[in-house]
Amino acid sequence: MKLTTILLSSAVLAGSLFANSNLAQSAKDFGLIAIPADKAELTKLIEESSPDSKAFPTTEKRVELGKKLYFDPRLSKSGIISCNTCHNLGYGGGDNIPASTGHKWTPNPHHINAPTVYNSVFNSVQFWDGRASHLAEQAAGPMTAAPEMASTPERVEEIINSIPAYVRMFKDAYGKDVKVNFDLITTTIGIFERTLVTPSRFDDFLNGDDNALSKEEKEGLELFLNNGCVSCHNGINLGGTMQPWEVASQYEFSNVGDFKGDENGMVKTPILRNIHLTAPYYHNGAIWSLKDAIKGMGSIQLGIDISDEDAKKIETFFNSLTGRMPTIVYPMLPASTEKTPKPDLEY
């Protein structure tokens, strides 16, 4: 009896280890991809994921300059809104409100929730309607949108070129003959954003560490795979690609805002990395509960009823997607000069 018990226990243990190994492989077979653990491999992937990286490779000086620009509110017309205002790096890369508020306290006219900037380098497209192909193109949008930063390319160029310290930094980063124009400014912000990558325990699991996920997280991952959530939330970001919306039923809060996707009704799937940090959820930020967001996706996209218990397990799996955040030191910004355009708050 004792020998039989030992043999059965050994078999169960072996089966458990085998299942763990199979689960990681199953996740990969379903199209989930790990952030590489090797630094050189990760750097190569980031460059390959940046369409403008051949013309503008990532360098330390460009990253540091891009960080200053990202945090500099002078790039807005009012002088009080920066990229970090709506994509707050301390909030998981969003702004923790349903729809962003911009120039003159203007709410987003389409009631659009700000997507996280973390790991956005791996998205196939930017913006909810996928209208931008890379980060530099995305950076230009909010900067010149009237309800957001409300500036113009000419004003942004004038501000940067009026500050000698910025001009020196651009020359140092790109060469002494560089022309500091709007495109180079947004490109530099995009170069900084390339570095905002957050490897997580889930990546460790896919990269071979069976103990990186708890038993409960593994159960949630199995449900995530088996229920079909991975059909849209796939790839390295578990999202970030264009997918059809309201496939099986209508979204309960579809009338909050007027966003309907691109011309074909396609919507960029939100990435699930750091999802516990980026409430509220969906394109219009109408859902605050992650469990409710999971159940809603089951109904809207998959046509299935995900129970409270299963939704809670999937939510538990999402804990493993909270990443190791890069250390961001808030930069000291160079002083304005008499030539620098003054803030215009349009009171």
Domain CATH number, residue 314: 1.10.760.10
How far, in Å, CA of 76 to CA of 64, rounded?
20
Residue 342 domain-assigned? no
Bridge pairing between strands 266-268 and 242-244: antiparallel
Total domains in the chain come to 2
Marked catalytic residue, from 47, 64, 137, 148: 148
> 101 phi and psi, to 5 degrees?
-110, 130
How far, in Å, CA of 164 to CA of 223, rounded?
56
Q: Same structural domain for residues 110 and 47? A: yes
Q: pLDDT in tens for each of the 347 residues of the chain?
A: 333 333 333 333 333 334 455 999 999 999 999 999 999 999 999 999 999 999 999 999 999 999 999 999 999 999 999 999 999 999 999 999 999 999 999 999 999 999 999 999 999 999 999 999 999 999 999 999 999 999 999 999 999 999 999 999 999 999 999 999 999 999 999 999 999 999 999 999 999 999 999 999 999 999 999 999 999 999 999 999 999 999 999 999 999 999 999 999 999 999 999 999 999 999 999 999 999 999 999 999 999 999 999 999 999 999 999 999 999 999 999 999 999 999 999 98
Q: Same structural domain for residues 47 and 188? A: yes
Q: Same structural domain for residues 228 and 263? A: yes
pLDDT of the residue at 9: 35
Q: Same structural domain for residues 149 and 232? A: no
Residue 343 domain-assigned? no
Q: Same structural domain for residues 160 and 144? A: yes
> 88 phi and psi, to 5 degrees?
-75, 120
Residue 96 domain-assigned? yes
> Is 64 among the catalytic positions?
no
Residue 233 domain-assigned? yes
Residue 17 domain-assigned? no
Residue 94 domain-assigned? yes
pLDDT of the residue at 21: 57
CA proximity to 207, closest of 16, 2, 19, 27: 27
Q: Which residue, of 194, 217, 237, is where some domain finishes?
A: 194
pLDDT of the residue at 251: 96
Q: Same structural domain for residues 158 and 236? A: no
Is-cis flag, bond preceding 280, omega within 30? yes
Q: Same structural domain for residues 47 and 180? A: yes
Q: How far is it between the farthest Cα atoms of the chain?
A: 90
Structural domain range at position 297: 30-37+200-321
Binding residues for heme c: 83, 86-87, 103, 229, 232-233, 297
Q: Same structural domain for residues 264 and 305? A: yes
Q: Same structural domain for residues 190 and 227? A: no
Q: Same structural domain for residues 61 and 166? A: yes
pLDDT of the residue at 347: 80
Q: What tokens were used for 119?
A: 């790991």
Q: Which residue, of 194, 215, 250, is where some domain finishes?
A: 194
How far, in Å, CA of 53 to CA of 135, rounded?
11
Q: Same structural domain for residues 178 and 227? A: no
Binding residues: 83, 86-87, 103, 229, 232-233, 297
Residue 330 domain-assigned? no
Q: Same structural domain for residues 270 and 205? A: yes
Q: Which residue, of 194, 218, 242, is where some domain finishes?
A: 194
Residue 243 domain-assigned? yes
Q: What tokens were used for 62?
A: 């460009």
Angstrom distances, CA of residue 280 to CA of 45, 97, 116, 253, 287: 30, 7, 11, 13, 6
